[in-house]
Structure 1
Amino acid sequence: MNTELFDRLGMPARIKEIAEYDIYSTDLRARLDTLAECSARLVEAPVSLVSVVLDTSQFIIGSYGVSGWVAYAQGTPAEWAICTHTVLAGKPYCVVDVLEDPEHAENPLVRMTGMRSYLGVPLIGFGGQTLGAMCVIDARPRVFTDVDKAVLDDGAEQAMKLLEAHRV
């Protein structure tokens, strides 16, 4: 694990805020799955995620179209997760073609899943910490539109309302 990445993701205030949500609630997960499906359909993307990025891993708390080992594991290493870039930036993050992007072309997750394009927006918690991302993923290179981003912004807002209802 990249030590700098671990340090940035593992800031105590950020991890403490994540811990204040019941991200294991089956009711919450079902609602986030529905939200992810809605976002995927509106953006016409085969995959959508709602994820929380911890210090060493991305934990998928809602999804649509996720399969294989990622679905079984319900996440990925943080250093492989493109959502990590959204979290660290604290703003929308887009990759038109991961295979043409030097930042992502050698990412093992890209090679294993067939992912080609990504658009994610941050999930901002009640304390101002960026907790994770709401994203869509496509298997083809793609230029996402302002409308696509607006759909994800709305989805992220709805996801945070659902998470707020599951604060412990």
Structure 2
Amino acid sequence: MSTDLFDRLGVPERIREIAGYDLFDPDLRTSLDAIAQRSAGLLEAPVSLVSMVLDMSQFIIGSHGVAGWVAEAQGTPAEWALCTHTVLAGEPYCVVDGRTDPRHADNPFLRMTGLRSYLGVPLIGRGGHALGAHCVIDARPRIFSDVDLAVLNDGAEKSMKLLDAYRLR
């Protein structure tokens, strides 16, 4: 991983805020899975995530349609995660077709999973930091609409309200 990426993601206040949630609570995970399932259904996408992006990895805390090694690992390296781009931008991030997009054409996650398009919105914590993302990922190229973005923003707001109920301190 590049030192620059680690430095940009590893801001101590941001990491402390992520650590302040009980991310392993099974009730929280079930509720976040339901949000991901709702977004996937409304946007007709095979995969949806609610994730936290740590300094070196993406940690999936809610999901729909995730299988194989990604499900077993409950995440990916940060440099492979499209949600990392959402977190670093602090605003919605879209990839119409990862195979033809020069920013993502060599991404191992996309190559190994066959997924191609992405729309994600940041999860903004109380401290104003982008902690993670709520997204949909599709196996076909897609142009996402403002309605799609509104669905994800709604899911992100619901995710943050849930997370706030699972604060450790």
Q: One fold, TM greater than 0.5?
A: yes
Matched, 1:14 2:14: yes
Instruction: Give the paired residue count.
Output: 168
Say if 2:140 is the partner of 1:140.
Answer: yes
Cα distance in 2, alignment partners of residues 131 and 77 from structure 1: 15
Find the aligned partners of 2:72 and 2:144 in 1 and give their Cα distance: 28
Query: What is the aligned partner in structure 2 of residue 96 from structure 1?
Result: 96
- SS at structure 1 position matched to 2:153: helix
Structure 1 stretches of at least 4 aligned residues deviating more than 4 Å after TM superposition: none
> 1:121-140 to 2 correspondence within 5 Å?
121-140=121-140
Alpha-carbon deviations, 1:98-143, whole Å to 9, x = none? 0010110001101100011000000001111110000000000000
Q: How does 1:19-168 map to 2 (within 5 A)?
A: 19-168=19-168
- Return 5+ residue gaps in structure 1 as ranges: none
Give me the whole-angstrom Cα distance separating, in 2, the residues matched to 1:140 and 1:114. 9
TM-score, scaled relative to structure 2: 0.99
Tell me the amino acid that sits aligned with residue 147 of structure 1. V
Shift, 1:150, TM fit = 0.1
Q: Which runs of 5+ in 2 are unaligned?
A: none
Inter-partner Cα distance in structure 2 for 1:14 and 1:126: 10
Please give the secondary structure, in 2, of the residue aligned with 1:110: helix
Counterpart CA distance in 2 for 1:117 and 1:59 is: 20
TM-score (norm 1): 0.99
CA distance in 1, matches of 2:25, 2:128: 22
CA RMSD of aligned residues (A): 0.4
Q: Given residue 94 of structure 1, which amino acid in structure 2 is its aligned partner?
A: C
Structure 2 distance, partners of 1:115, 1:3, is: 27
